[in-house]
Chain A
Amino acid sequence: MTEHAATSVGIAAPRAGEAGSERLRLIWRNAFPFIVVAALWEIVARAGVFPQQLFPTLEQIARAFVDLTIAGILPHHTVDTLLRLFAGFGLAAACGITIGMAMGRSRRAEDCLLPLVSILAPIPGLAYTPLFLLWFGPGEVSAILLVGFVSMFPVIYNTWTGVKAVKEIWLRSAQSMGANNRRLFRNVILPGALPYILTGLRLGLGQAWRILVAVEMLAAVPWGLGWLIFGAREFLNTDAMMAGVIVIALIGLALEKFVFQKLEHYTVVRWGMIGRL
């Protein structure tokens, strides 16, 4: 839960009800550290301490970024990476929530699945990569399966905890008011477990994202940001590499800001499961 709290902090949001000058001050405050770092980078790059090839100036990075975007190479890489991310994560969400629900609801399923899950979960996902490559061959299938497999565990754990955390008294009162199994599930268990499930999905997506970049480097996929970075190394194209890293950072930030914070806002906050921030 702490990670959840920590990652949602992000860049400070402007307080409502203040004048435009307050907004400007805030933008300046957020931009200032980046300007300092950019200036330092530029000084080091221009000073020639490192070869230009390895430590490009900001101008070179910007040019590589623009050139690659116009040529359509960067968008193609980005789209492929995103498709892979969502395919793998979709798989993880579907399987993870199903297994987690089963484990939370049925003692039998819990007893059977928990040992398997607790043995497989602590092994770092990337360690499975070569194995998956051997079994499913290099390429798309391995990459998606691996991302799905790895990001499934946080979803399972959190769904399981969430279903178990639904208060017994809610279940009993709903039952005594005549709710059948289906309504019990839809109207009590699902909303009750949703904050946990969302936390699980969020952690899972984060993990999928972290692992995907490495998988793309190793699994010999034809397109993808991880591959772009890795391939650029061969030709010492540090500027193209940095452009790729920037896109990766932007996607990571966007996932956090626009997917999960929004989703959380529309569901659990609205249902009053957790307090408004």
Chain B
Amino acid sequence: MTELGQRRRSIIRGGLTLIAAALVYQGLARSGIFASALLPTIPTITHTLLGMLADGTMLKHAGYTLYRVLCGFVLAVTFALPLGIAMARFKRVENFFLPLTSALMPIPSFSLVPLFMLWFGIGNLTTILIVFYAASFPVLFNTWSGVRSVNPLWLRAAGSMGADENKLFWKVIVPGAFPFIITGMRQAFLRCWIAVVGAEMIAASDWGLGWVIFDAKEFLNADVMLASLVVIGFIGFVFERLVFGSIERATVLRWGMVRAAKG
């Protein structure tokens, strides 16, 4: 069988599985074994999703969540990126911060939510700080190991060709470490995305995708829950594939630092 035929068969099989899964779900929901409030049918979910999109509530929830994630993420990058570079370049900084980060990293960000709620109250600030905490460590560690893994030969070659410190940093170290930094940001974003949902559930405010899911539980609105799940999954997917994918294409792939994966 040719490669193309193989691909087509894969797509058909994948599609069939998805349809089968949807049918099984629909059958279960229709059969009445479970209460329909707990297991809404697919048309109901679609209807709810479209309704919430049409009247703008879903967009507002998503907007709040995105605002919190992006604030926390940008904060984490502006803080952790320079620190990671400094840790890799200066032994003193590394000696001071490495033990601290190793001790703080295994603390899940959620365990700080109650504490932050006491300190900063309920609302945006707590959520943003939790996101910041969750995102900092992947960025920090990957930047640190990225800068350290820059080939010393490149540094010496550039140095002997007369590059000064400034040039060395921008032309050699930063591009060399960039694949790691991108990986770090990707991981950080995934963590942020989990953290924001959790933080919104616990430190409830009035808007946000995490909050709407948790709030829907109180009223047994499983359709609202599933509709929000779809939106959460969709946004996460868009960021992972489109945003980080295109950053990667524009930088490290173009610079020839990594090869594009085949297939």
> Interface residues, chain A, CB within 8 Å of chain B?
2-3, 5-7, 9-12, 29-34, 36-37, 50, 54-55, 107-108, 110-116, 119, 122-131, 133-135, 209-214, 217-218, 225-226, 229-230, 232-233, 236, 238, 241-242, 244-245, 248-249, 251-253, 255-256
Contact = CB atoms under 8 A, between A and B. Distances in A.
Interface in B116-151: 117-119, 138, 141-142, 144-145
A143 B138 CA distance: 26
Contacts, number: 192
Given A226-B111, A248-B111, 9 more contacts: A11-B102, A124-B197, A126-B197, A127-B232, A134-B38, A210-B108, A217-B110, A242-B115, A248-B108
B14 A124 contact: no
Nearest to B96: A33
Nearest to B218: A130
B201 interface: yes
7 closest A-B pairs by CB: A252-B106, A111-B13, A214-B110, A6-B141, A130-B217, A124-B194, A210-B108
A207 B21 CA distance: 26
A90 to B, nearest CB: 20
Contact of B193 (A32, A124, A129): A124
Contacts of B98: 9, 11-12
B100 interface: yes
B207 interface: no
Interface string B31-68: 00010001100000000000000000000000000000
Nearest to A236: B118
B236 to A, nearest CB: 5
B226 interface: yes
A112 B14 contact: yes
Contacts of A233: 114-115, 117-118
A108 to B, nearest CB: 7
B103 A253 contact: yes
Contacts of B75: none
A249 B106 contact: yes
Contacts of B107: 245, 248-249, 252
A114 B214 contact: no
Interface residues of B, number: 67
A37 B100 contact: yes
Contacts of B115: 229, 233, 238, 241-242, 245
Interface stretch (B153-161, B165-173, B179-187): B179-187
A111 B82 CA distance: 43
Contacts of B145: 2, 5-6, 9
Contacts of A31: 99
B217 A133 contact: yes
A226 B107 CA distance: 12
28 contacts: A2-B142, A3-B141, A3-B142, A9-B145, A110-B10, A112-B14, A115-B18, A116-B18, A122-B240, A124-B198, A126-B197, A127-B209, A127-B213, A127-B232, A130-B216, A131-B226, A214-B108, A214-B198, A214-B202, A217-B113, A218-B201, A218-B214, A236-B118, A245-B107, A249-B107, A251-B106, A252-B105, A252-B108
Contacts of A115: 14-15, 17-18
A30 B232 contact: no
B112 A245 contact: yes
A151 to B, nearest CB: 12
B79 interface: no
Contacts of A218: 201-202, 214
A12 B102 CA distance: 10
Contacts of A125: 194
B14 A111 contact: yes
Contacts of B183: 2
A101 B245 CA distance: 28
Contact of A33 (B15, B99, B193, B209): B99
